């Protein structure tokens, strides 16, 4: 059973906030479309984690699948994939351009090279980030 809250009426993606069983069958195409719609909505200068995306689309335990579908994203989709980081603010390995893209948008970094999530994490519940 899925439940939607008021956020789903204001954002361009369906927002599911209940945990679902881990053994449920997932349509990878539906998962991909939902993940892409969240990623497309991330405002410039903000980041979101793989886990947050997974929770927003209703599959909180499938954060690695978010990374998998991002790796398969076509350049022609023009998704701001550089705005997705891990739960510690670490950037994607083997993608040195990600830091420059984020810095160009004003994202700040900690001395260890991680994104400063306290300053730059997208507060998707706060619509003033758009």
Does 64 score more than 70 pLDDT?
yes
What's residue 68's pLDDT? 87
Q: What is the mean pLDDT of the chain?
A: 82
Strands (E), 6-118: 48-49, 84-85
Asked if 52 and 17 count as a contact pair (C-beta separation under 8 A), the reply is: no
pTM of the model: 0.78
* pLDDT tens-digit readout, 6-45: 344 444 444 444 334 444 566 888 889 999 999 999 999 9
Asked if 39 and 81 count as a contact pair (C-beta separation under 8 A), the reply is: yes
* Alpha carbon distance 102, 45 (integer Å): 7
């Amino acid at each position: 059973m899925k439940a939607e809250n008021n956020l789903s009426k204001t954002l361009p993606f369906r927002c599911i906030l209940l945990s679902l069983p881990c053994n449920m069958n997932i349509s990878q195409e539906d998962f991909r479309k939902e993940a892409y719609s969240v990623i497309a909505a991330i405002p410039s200068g903000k980041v979101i984690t793989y886990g947050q995306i997974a929770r927003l689309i209703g599959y909180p335990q499938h954060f690695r699948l978010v990374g998998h579908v991002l790796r398969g994203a076509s350049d022609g989709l023009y998704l701001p994939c550089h705005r997705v980081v891990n739960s510690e603010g670490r950037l994607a390995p083997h993608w040195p351009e990600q830091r420059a893209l984020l810095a160009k948008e004003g994202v700040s970094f900690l001395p260890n090279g991680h994104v400063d999530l306290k300053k730059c994490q997208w507060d998707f519940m706060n619509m003033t980030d758009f």
